[in-house]
Structure 1
Amino acid sequence: MNGSQVISLGSVSFQLKEKHDFEWLKSLGDVFCVFDEQDSGNICFGVEKNGTKRFVKYAGAKTLEYSGHPEDAIARLKRSISLYQDLNHPHLINLLDYFEVENGYGLVFDWFNGECLHSHWSFPPPHKYNHPDSPFYRYKQLPIAYRLASLKSIFEFHLHVEKKNYVAVDFYDGSILYDFKNNITKICDIDLYMAKPFINTMGRLWGSSRFMSPEEFKLGAEIDEKTNVFNMGAIAFGLLGGELDRSFLKWDAGHELYEVALKAVEEDRSRRYSSVEDFFIAWNIASKKMIELINTIKH
């Protein structure tokens, strides 16, 4: 690629727009993997020291996919520290440490052995949806009970977000990590979540349009719990249905759960559930019936 610099750290190599000093990284351990294709301005590393793995998120380098200023990426990363602290939860990746270096800023998290459901760097669409090795494809082949348990983790975390008086911004399937060996789901990348009240001052907010409500495209709109209800319903359609094709034909989890998800993604805000809590109550009732039905069929 024109004007790019290859950086090598141990056995791992990646490209940046220009050279950058990563000497500081050596003290954290040996780099065993790199995630360098985000458009956020961050670059992330897996490091291992004395048998313990950590995940390092760093801003300050000029990554190939990022068109903004490194200073802005640094400011966003610094701002996210309080989010990980305030919203700390068993279903959220755990922040351990943060520090400044000469040309940037780093956050250190516990390593979680999960795979990202939107690994666009390895499986760009359509491979995401049809390649047998794609994490998303493999997730969609999981039994319904496993996917319902996974969604429960996602909804529980966002109920926690709501109770803490925050709103989710830029939550999509790329924020979901799934450990296929242990069937555990964790949330990552909550860097753009906002304390309420939050007004849309951008027009089109950050995020994947596949999961965004109408108000996330509307300048001056209030982004609130009803916005997050839409977001949760859209995620349900992504993980149990046909994503933007919200027909019952593409839905894997029975009529009652379908009706709950459909109400959540109403274009008209007044017709949605009033809160993530209300949505989650309705979802749990329908989910319990679905699990009972699955168990009846098994026996």
Structure 2
Amino acid sequence: MNHFPTITLGKVSFQLKELHDFEWLTRLGQVFCVFDEQDSGNISFGIEIDGLKRFVKYAGAKTLRYSGSPEDAIARLKSCASLYEDLNHPHLVNLVEYFEVEKGYALVFDWFDGECLHPHWSFPPPQKYNHPDSPFYRFKKLPIEYRLKSLNSIFEFHVNVEKNNYVAVDFYDGSILYDFKNNITKICDIDLYMKRPFINFMGRLWGSSRFMSPEEFMLDAVIDERTNVFNMGAIAFGLLGGELDRSFLKWDAGQELYEIAVKAVEEDKSCRYSSVEEFYKAWKVVLLKANLDF
């Protein structure tokens, strides 16, 4: 049995490693949900005031799953505010404001009524893939047209990332929110995207290995547009195919799109498309032929 303190904000309760003052948050509105299972050092909340919902991402508290220092988490969150401004896009969650509080730092976003496609806290694998209530399972059961539209949103956003001289680091299905009622996709958690030129200074970079290119495991490797292309191809296999099983047998979207996705995930960088823009143009040509332009 643990002895961590329980914090209660309105009707929401959660545990931290030590007590923390959230009075500043309750002044913003009524807390209606908490996301406290991240290992990033952040804790997030849904708040509502006068019928308007917002999503608040906060660093400064000692969360249970984070082993680093709150100061490091605060510094990371501060530095990523400019990312959301630089990469502002209709398919990215919208940053409204950001500010310091006495013991931390907060980013406030418009609320988006979507479900995360990698809900590891509520549907850890294998439930993610086979439980009928899992958002990922439900997404994979959608008609192919809906999933292709969702991928278009992801690709369009990453063309924008590329045009603004950034590379996508740590983009995976946990960065994808899907609104099943309105069939709208939004991207969240771009906190680790990096300005180009970017050199791999870690060996294994941050991220889910299911979507990472070979160079994201190689110290001193250049992380560039072709790395982004691999990431997009891997995401296509996640949403339309068998994820790491990249056989045609598991693919739902026809031979031509399959060949484009296969080229995108070539181990050899030089064999991939040169940019997400080039990759997405080839992809759209196939969609247009099939009258699937969204």
Structure-1-length-normalised TM-score: 0.96
Deviation at 1:258, TM superposition (A): 0.4
1:142 is aligned with what amino acid? L
TM-superposed CA distance for 1:208, in Å, is 0.3
Instruction: Give the counterpart letter for 2:236 in structure 1.
Output: A
Structure 2 counterparts to residues 143-158 of structure 1, below 5 A:
143-158=143-158
Match of 2:194?
A: 194
Instruction: Report how far residue 114 of structure 1 moved.
Output: 0.4
Compute the displacement of 1:78 (Å): 0.3
Where does 1:15-34 land on structure 2 (aligned, <5 Å)? 15-34=15-34
Q: How far off is 1:18 after superposition?
A: 1.1
1:134 aligned onto 2:134: yes
Aligned to 1:242: 242
Structure 1: gaps of 5 or more residues: 293-299
SS of 1:28's equivalent in the other structure is: coil
Give ranges in structure 2 of 5+ residues lacking alignment. none
Change (3 A) 1:4 1:290: farther
Alignment check: 8 A CA contact 1:36 1:44 kept: yes
Partner of 2:87: 87
1:34-93, Cα deviation, whole Å (9 max, x unpaired): 000011110000000000000000000111111111111101100011100000000000
Which digits, 9 at most, give the CA deviation of each residue in 1:263-293, with x for residues without a partner?
000001010001001100111112233446x
Q: For residue 231 of structure 2, what is the amino acid of its counterpart?
A: N
Tell me, in whole angstroms, the C-alpha distance in 1 between the residues paired with 2:40 and 2:145: 34
Q: Which amino acid aligns with 2:167?
A: V
SS at match of 1:40: coil
Preserved contact between residue 168 and residue 190 of structure 1 (Cα < 8 Å): yes
CA distance in 2, matches of 1:67, 1:260: 40
> Runs (4+) of structure 1 moved beyond 6 Å?
none
> Whole-Å Cα distance in 1 between the matches of residues 89 and 248 of structure 2?
33
Q: Give the structure 2 partner of residue 222 of structure 1.
A: 222
Aligned AA (2:263): K
Q: Could you give the per-residue CA deviations for residues 200-239 of structure 1, whole angstroms, max 9, x where no partner exists? A: 0000000000000000000000000000000000000000
- Paired with 1:177 and 1:290, the residues of 2 have a C-alpha distance of 26
CA distance in 1, matches of 2:263, 2:257: 10
Structure 2 counterparts to residues 177-216 of structure 1, below 5 A:
177-216=177-216
Paired amino acid for 1:91: H
Distance in 2 between the 1:240 and 1:107 partners? 33
Would the aligned equivalents of 1:43 and 1:57 in 2 still touch at CA under 8 Å?
A: yes
Are the counterparts in 2 of residues 93 and 188 from structure 1 also a CA contact under 8 Å?
A: yes
Aligned-partner residue type, residue 279 of structure 2:
F
Q: Which residue of 2 aligns with 1:42?
A: 42
Is it true that 1:116 corresponds to 2:80 in the alignment?
no
Q: Post-superposition shift, 1:152?
A: 0.1
1:60 alignment partner AA: G
> Is the CA contact 1:116–1:175 (under 8 Å) kept in the aligned structure 2?
yes
* 1:286 equivalent in structure 2: 286
1:67-86 equivalence runs, <5 A: 67-86=67-86
Task: Name the aligned partner's letter for residue 77 of structure 1.
Answer: L
- Distance in 1 of aligned mates of 2:67 and 2:214: 26
Q: Tell me if the contact between 1:3 and 1:18 (Cα under 8 Å) persists in the aligned partners.
A: no
* Deviation at residue 2 of structure 1 after TM alignment: 2.5
Aligned 8 A contact 1:225 1:275 in 2: yes
2:165 — aligned with what? 165
AA aligned opposite 1:32: F
Alpha-carbon distance in 1 for matches of 2:2, 2:290: 54
1:275 and 1:122 map into 2 onto residues whose CA distance is 35
Tell me the equivalent position of 1:296: none
Distance 1:215 1:171 in 2: 15
* Matches of 2:223 and 2:246, distance apart in 1: 23
Q: CA RMSD in A?
A: 1.1
What is the TM-score of this pair, normalised by structure 2? 0.98
How many pairs does the alignment contain?
293
